[in-house]
Amino acid sequence: QVQLVESGGGSVQAGGSLRLSCAASGYTDSSYCMGWFRQAPGKEREEVAAIYTGGRSTYHADSVKGRFTISQDKAKNTLYLQMNSLKPEDTAMYYCAAVTPPCSLQWAPAQYKYWGQGTQVTVSS
């Protein structure tokens, strides 16, 4: 059973930075699609960024492109989301998710199988 544990959330002022981490364990496959999603109150969960752990392919949503960067440390089985130039509209609960191939980096939340518990990011103006 794959387990994902997020950390790194917090409260920052607009323009600040945070780095989210997602520690993964229980992998049975060599490669996964892994993504960061976020959900603000009253809104649907949306994909922020994704990566294929077996290669170098990444995806970043237009709303975060140039500000957020997804990366991985295979030795530590950890996924990261570096968030710079944060805006109040980035405020949300951020979730890490994973799914085994075949998979796409631009998939809906319902197509991901494994989820973490989430970490809150709050950006004040």
Quote the CA–CA distance of 123 and 90 in Å, as a whole number.
7
E strand spans, 1-125: 3-7, 10-13, 18-25, 33-39, 46-52, 58-60, 68-73, 78-83, 92-99, 114-115, 119-124
pLDDT tens digits, one per residue of 2-38? 999 999 999 999 999 999 999 999 977 778 999 999 9
pLDDT tens digits, one per residue of 39-65? 999 999 999 999 999 888 999 999 999
